[in-house]
Structure 1
Amino acid sequence: MWQRFSQNRKSEVDVEVDENGIIIDEADDDDEEDLSEMLSNYEFEASTEHQPTRFEDLIFEDDDHEITYGRRIARYLTEHGYTWYNPRAANDPDHCGNEHQEETKNGEEGNIDNTLTQSERNLLVEKRGPSLDSAWAYFEHIALPRKLCGNAQYGENVNSYKADPGETMLATELYSYWTTPEDQLGDFGIGIGIYFLSMRIFSCICFIAGLLYIPLIHYYRSDDYSKGPHPNRDSWVLRGSAICTHTMWVPCPTCVEDKDKFDQNRLAIGILETDGDDDGNEVYFALRNLCGGNNWEQGLNHLGVTLFMCVSIFVLSWLLHKGELKFDEDNLTASDFSIRVTDPPEDATDPDEWEQYFSEHFGARVVYCTIAMNNEKLIDALAKRRTIAQAIIHILPADLKGEKNAILDDDEELETVAASLVAESPPTPFWKKCLQPLGLFQDAVMLKDKFEEINGEIEELLKVKYKATNVFVTFEYENEQRTVLSSLSVGKLWSFFNVAGKCDFPFRGVHVLHAEEAAEPEAVRWIHGLDSTLVRRVSQFLVTIIPLVGLLFFCGYIVAKVREQSVFWSGMMISIFNSIIPIAVRAINGLEIHDNEGYAQASLYFKITIFRWANTALLTTFLAEFTDTVSDEALINSLLAVFIAEIFTSPLIQLLDPVNHLKRHLKAPRAMNQIAMNNCFTGTFYNIAERYTNMTKIIFLCSWYGVIFPAGYFFGALSLVVQYYADKFCLLKTWHVQPRIGDEISVLGRLYFFPVVLVVMSVVGSYYWAGFPFDNLCSDNMESTIAVGTYMLQFKNETSSTFNWTSLDEGNEAIYDYKYCNQYFLGEFPAIGTEYERASADNGWMSDDQYTMSKYYGWGSIAVLVLVLLHYLQFIVKLGRSLFYGSWTDSGEKDSGERYSDQGSISCFVPQKKHRSFEYPLIACDIDLIEKKHISWSDPVKPYSTYSLVRDAKHVQKLAKEQGREVDESNIVFAPIKHWPPSNKKKKKKSKSKKKLKAVVE
């Protein structure tokens, strides 16, 4: 890759590299340090003569063995001139042979000659048209994650294999699906690493639980439980479930009083058929389940699995906590060296003042200081100005489109072009003007007016006195960060009310600071997030719960209607809602304000988890009639449909990714320009919170229905394994690179949601155990006196059938009359007490073994619930204590002893705004005095200054001054950021060897 880049770009250093892109030239200490500094600070803005104008001019010549299979297919079809695939295949700029050589001046084949002027180069690029291979290169080098090749960071410590998006200074390659170990997935963030670790452990837990349930599965499969043959009972999948097909109609004379409490298919009026007499005796018959009751052996089996799950989740939580520390120790990031001050004085906008405070009071060496401001309206207005400028460029006439990059970079030229467009544009038809408020048919006049209006708005916003809202400070060593956090840890009440006497190191002698460990720089939400209050965030969270409840009721209504037609397809409908409703939940969650991506994902995780748990388990249970719990073609069949969707349907759709494949192979080749083509290659955007909820949903489902469908644990283990490998493939090959997030979701899961799984398994299991045989019938302890004969059964739904009543059961014993009795305890807690006493009486439905085990289960569920409540109580106590005492504690992570300045792939806190109209973030601060290697992304073609909003603001101020208006250039409107490099990293006097260094860096 370095050699390919050398055709287009040269730096001021000359080094020797091997075939893998590793620098191998020997140098003395001074030269090595200067070389390392030049490499780290390198930015693509040397001169127009050597400036690449297109992304493909840098890296489109990736070897076939280095690229994705999709790009290989696209190359093959384009090179062979298949215009049905790529309409430009006949004259594709990257695969058209020598057709374009005549258009260059003394240039090499397939490349743009560096002797051309910028205007000539732009015109030539425009004439050649967009490059499909360039768009694929954008996909592989910007959208997809890449890792460094070997020790690619010369003279620096490699602590993470993951490369920054757009990295061209160092040799990189795509992650391998087959050889990337799980430990390396932590490079994507602690949250990603813990997610895959959790799935692997949970799949093992579910598989072992399934093995432990084999005695109960064998019992359900045997004739001791159900003798009734049925096609579904013969299925190997359902034979291990509690489906009961061994039933019998029994007389229930008193059921006429409780007929509304029975399902329409389980209660009927029986009319005795007699010869010559249509008016036979009428009596109510109810359908009784004859499946064997659960004995103490099966009870102990379930109790043993419950204990195993309790121990396993406890061990899992411990392992995940250790995993969090391991992933954090293996990957040094800015968060390990940085703190965030959430309540600085509003006028504390001088980074030097903060550096002096930390060095004098704590002896800490500050490397970076970034002060966030409440300038969201200004940043939004500057971003809007950029979008308007882009819209003006899109309507340029053909003869000027080759100059669009130069026009965008020159604000004065942009205004001149806009004015000329207005003068030359024809009148806009009335019908188009009517649609312009909707953003359609925007002409030059409208865009020029918008541009002038936004300039005026920005001019006014530049006069506002902005306040400091947060301060991010990065130290040279990890132990300095921990010392500061420990020393500034005070009660939240004292920092809120600024009680200086409670703090040993007040800022300016009077301000009590609240400091915490900073999130990762790329995870910080700089715009509309950092200045929000706790009350505002909590109120927004509660408000967004309301539409979530509405969505749940809507889904319940639709599933209920589908269930009336097919139980199986109602299960499929549940899975469909589990896939599409999170899209709406993400939109709802977007209404909340969070200061970093980790907390936003945690909030999303909470909402989607609640929805999927309710939609998958609660909805399935409450929509089904209690007496259908073990009926064929009822509850368990819908569970099977959910598991099938989780194992096959959802992962298959995820892997096929039809929408994005159509965009890359159908829409992209027909795009009108390179930007539109690149937008088809942004990759699939995903939420790690949604992936977490898939995992917890499966665990919750297995635990909820473990008693009646123990084989579900095998299905759960299989679905987790499939999800593990499907998500790993998508993470490395199709998903767009996301900000690195911390352990917020993992902590929320292991501390709050996993204990709920234990409660569900113990409490719901006790209810199911007490509810056998799920027919709401109890013996009246009186032999039936109903006349023997053939009865016509008439059901509530006006259907009818006949059966022969013999008054004797299969053992030739007299059949008793039955009566209605409530076996459904799910609405009561605990499932012990008076109902159990009635159930165990002579006329009850429970055997002695079932009664004894149910009683143990009832008290056991109470014990588990109490333990979990105590677990939650300790967090409430901890929260209360934090109001008066410092709450910071050392996580136990080992101190690496490494210096921040020695880390090559580590970021600093650079305020920026992400906008869907731009491929890269817009920088909202002055970065002239910081090391560019500490910015978490890079554009291989354009310099960082292209994305700086500071430049836009300066132009607006310049225009105001030219028009005679006052401008306060001393007003601090952007986030101040300053870098203090270590003394031994400062630039030294150039040596002779450095003066003659002239090499290719790629």
Structure 2
Amino acid sequence: VESKRPPVVSRRGIKTYQESPFLDDPFNDMTYGRRIALKLQNYSWYQPRGTHWDFNGLGLQSAWAHFEHSVLPRYISKALASRKNASVGLDDDDGDDWLYSPGQNKGSQERTGDLQRAEPGESESPTKLYSTLSTPLSQMGDFGLGVGLYFSSLRAIALISLVAGLINLPNILYFASDVYSANQPDVNFLLKGSALCTEQVWVPCPTCPIDKYENSRDRIAGTTTVTPDGELQTLMFAMKNTCDGATMNVGIVNLATLGFIMLATIALSAYQKRKVVEFDEQEQTAQDYSIEISNPPKDATEPEEWKKFFESRFGVHTTCCTVTIDNDLLVKALAERREVLHQIEEKIKEGAAANTLSLSEYAAKVEHRRGLIGYIKSRISPGIPELVDRLTVLNQKIQGLAQQNYRATKVFCTFETESMQRDIISEMKVGPMTAHMNSVHA
């Protein structure tokens, strides 16, 4: 398909246009949807406008390129040659919005055989779409811990099922032999080797009531006879399987399979925990190095005390520590004061002093000159006098709130390595009841 390149509007709205670097992707590297769309874009019934882009310079080709490079996951391909125009120059005004590519994730470490996931819109390095068939299992963690753990567990369960089936192979061969049920004639191929029995005989069953066999009437029958006394008597018969399935060998194989499943379940739990750590280490975030203490002592509000505690008790290096306190009223008052100051700055003349004394003097002059119309307007939209009054009230409120003592609510500590974080979590782990009671003797 001939690539007709539509221009792309610059990100900052300047009337300059850039060429999309993603329109020359190899045809075989595109999704099937994009291939079909590019094939059909020459037909008017598919593209009624008859052109490949709209009046803004963005059209079908650019939309598919944006979808594949900014929405679908891609990885850095070291084997591909550098693509022309793959980077946005310093003089290009940052490029268009959807071509903007932030720097690569510095935390991700590329190891031999691993794929390094590209950032959305990556244009400085050649990228390729993840393959649905050949993407290694070790890379599934790039799509989230849950996705990686799901496919790892799926593979482990498939292996467990295969081994359990091999252990059951003697039973399968026995059930499919002529010794058990004469090679199971007229049985579906998928049911061959199961415990399905095809050899049955009718036997007397005087204690079998018909009303208890409503769902299997084909396995019970009756006939009427005459007793020596001349009375009618109904004789019940039931269909009985003659296959010998309860043998010692069958029981031993079943017990062996059950024992293997129990051991495999325990091993699967350990395997999942190991994969969680492995996938977690591949994706480096601040959470991997940090802990959260949700029930700290109320008076432990100094970060330096927490830093000294962890370093002296566990011998670790605490990179940073943050203590949150319940000063919601103070924060709200500060935010409101900032908003009031912003409104005052918009109303006063540029270059005018914004200190408390100057604002009070300016507010007094405005209020003194205010007429009836100005007074009515101030009731609808606060003017300088009202804003200055509110600012004075907020300043006094903040001074009072700042003198209060606040209790600690949560503590966040970040350590130098992940192993330090895991060791501290392991050492400080307590039961839920102890944590709820905040017992210091646990």
1:183–1:146: structure 2 CA closer, same or farther, 3 Å change rule? same
Q: Counterpart of 2:255?
A: 303
1:148 deviates by 2.9
Q: Distance in 1 between matches of 2:78 and 2:327?
A: 40
1:371–1:58: structure 2 CA closer, same or farther, 3 Å change rule? farther
1:340–1:162: structure 2 CA closer, same or farther, 3 Å change rule? farther
User: Which segments of 5 or more consecutive residues in structure 1 lack a partner in the other structure?
Assistant: 10-43, 95-123, 274-278, 379-462, 503-883, 886-1002
Q: Counterpart of 2:153?
A: 198
Q: Distance in 2 between matches of 1:70 and 1:154?
A: 28
Q: Counterpart of 2:178?
A: 223
1:288 deviates by 1.7
Q: Counterpart of 1:268?
A: 221
1:75 deviates by 0.9
User: Is the deviation greater in 209-218 or in 487-496?
Assistant: 487-496
Is this contact kept in 1: 2:105–2:119, CA < 8 A?
no
Match of 1:478 among 394, 397, 418: 418
Equivalent AA in structure 1 for residue 418 of structure 2: E
Q: Distance in 2 between matches of 1:246 and 1:307?
A: 31
| 1:845-903: CA deviation from partner (whole Å, max 9, x where unpaired) | xxxxxxxxxxxxxxxxxxxxxxxxxxxxxxxxxxxxxxx73xxxxxxxxxxxxxxxxxx
Q: Counterpart of 1:64?
A: 27
Q: Distance in 2 between matches of 1:485 and 1:229?
A: 59
1:180–1:321: structure 2 CA closer, same or farther, 3 Å change rule? same
Q: Secondary structure at the match of 2:178?
A: coil
Match of 2:289 among 337, 341, 349: 337
| Number of residue-to-residue matches in the alignment | 324
Match of 1:92 among 37, 52, 56: 52
Is this contact kept in 1: 2:306–2:321, CA < 8 A?
no
Q: Distance in 2 between matches of 1:82 and 1:184?
A: 40
1:200 deviates by 2.0
1:93 deviates by 0.4
Q: Secondary structure at the match of 1:87?
A: coil
Q: Counterpart of 1:291?
A: 243
Q: Distance in 1 between matches of 2:71 and 2:287?
A: 24
| 1:184-235: CA deviation from partner (whole Å, max 9, x where unpaired) | 222223333332222223222222222222221122122322249753x2x3
Q: Secondary structure at the match of 2:222?
A: strand
| 1:727-746: CA deviation from partner (whole Å, max 9, x where unpaired) | xxxxxxxxxxxxxxxxxxxx
Is this contact kept in 2: 1:271–1:283, CA < 8 A?
yes
Q: Counterpart of 1:951?
A: none
| 1:498-553: CA deviation from partner (whole Å, max 9, x where unpaired) | 56xx2xxxxxxxxxxxxxxxxxxxxxxxxxxxxxxxxxxxxxxxxxxxxxxxxxxx
Equivalent runs, 1:136-151 vs 2, <5 Å: 136-150=64-78
Match of 1:366 among 289, 296, 320: 320
Is this contact kept in 2: 1:366–1:476, CA < 8 A?
no
Is this contact kept in 1: 2:204–2:238, CA < 8 A?
yes
Match of 1:318 among 238, 248, 270: 270
Q: Counterpart of 2:63?
A: 135
1:344–1:63: structure 2 CA closer, same or farther, 3 Å change rule? farther
1:177–1:284: structure 2 CA closer, same or farther, 3 Å change rule? closer
Percent identical residues: 35
Q: Distance in 2 between matches of 1:50 and 1:487?
A: 61
Q: Counterpart of 1:436?
A: none
Q: Does the alignment pair 1:75 with 2:30? A: no
1:68–1:225: structure 2 CA closer, same or farther, 3 Å change rule? same
1:138 deviates by 3.6
Whose radius of gyration is greater, 1 or 2? 2
1:344 deviates by 6.8
Q: Secondary structure at the match of 1:365?
A: strand
1:144 deviates by 1.9
Q: Counterpart of 1:974?
A: none
Q: Distance in 2 between matches of 1:236 and 1:340?
A: 58
1:294–1:473: structure 2 CA closer, same or farther, 3 Å change rule? same
Is this contact kept in 1: 2:318–2:413, CA < 8 A?
no
Q: Counterpart of 2:196?
A: 243
| 1:18-42: CA deviation from partner (whole Å, max 9, x where unpaired) | xxxxxxxxxxxxxxxxxxxxxxxxx
| 1:820-860: CA deviation from partner (whole Å, max 9, x where unpaired) | xxxxxxxxxxxxxxxxxxxxxxxxxxxxxxxxxxxxxxxxx
1:155 deviates by 11
Q: Secondary structure at the match of 1:265?
A: helix
1:344–1:308: structure 2 CA closer, same or farther, 3 Å change rule? closer
Q: Distance in 1 between matches of 2:177 and 2:328?
A: 70
Q: Counterpart of 1:159?
A: 109
Q: Distance in 2 between matches of 1:186 and 1:250?
A: 61
1:245 deviates by 2.1
Q: Distance in 1 between matches of 2:191 and 2:435?
A: 60
User: Which segments of 5 or more consecutive residues in structure 2 lack a partner in the other structure?
Assistant: 83-102, 111-115, 312-316, 333-393, 399-405
1:254 deviates by 3.7
Equivalent AA in structure 2 for residue 297 of structure 1: N
Q: Secondary structure at the match of 2:181?
A: coil
Q: Secondary structure at the match of 1:250?
A: strand
1:492–1:289: structure 2 CA closer, same or farther, 3 Å change rule? closer
1:317–1:139: structure 2 CA closer, same or farther, 3 Å change rule? same
Equivalent runs, 1:286-685 vs 2, <5 Å: 286-343=238-295, 356=304, 358-359=306-307, 361=309, 362=311, 364-366=318-320, 473-478=413-418, 481-482=421-422, 485=425, 492=432, 496-497=436-437, 502=440
Q: Does the alignment pair 1:259 with 2:210? A: yes
1:476–1:321: structure 2 CA closer, same or farther, 3 Å change rule? closer
Q: Distance in 2 between matches of 1:490 and 1:229?
A: 59
Is this contact kept in 1: 2:175–2:181, CA < 8 A?
yes
Q: Greater strand share, 1 or 2?
A: 2
Q: Distance in 2 between matches of 1:155 and 1:165?
A: 11
Is this contact kept in 2: 1:370–1:473, CA < 8 A?
no
Q: Does the alignment pair 1:49 with 2:47? A: no
Q: Secondary structure at the match of 1:224?
A: helix
Q: Distance in 2 between matches of 1:341 and 1:357?
A: 14
Equivalent AA in structure 2 for residue 172 of structure 1: T
Q: Counterpart of 2:335?
A: none
1:374–1:339: structure 2 CA closer, same or farther, 3 Å change rule? farther
Q: Secondary structure at the match of 1:173?
A: strand
Q: Distance in 2 between matches of 1:471 and 1:52?
A: 50
Q: Distance in 2 between matches of 1:321 and 1:93?
A: 51
Root-mean-square deviation (Å): 4.7
TM-score by length of 2: 0.58
Is this contact kept in 2: 1:267–1:287, CA < 8 A?
yes
Q: Counterpart of 1:764?
A: none
Equivalent AA in structure 2 for residue 66 of structure 1: D
Match of 2:169 among 214, 219, 225: 214
1:74 deviates by 0.8
1:285 deviates by 1.8
1:191–1:272: structure 2 CA closer, same or farther, 3 Å change rule? same
Q: Counterpart of 2:100?
A: none
1:302 deviates by 1.9
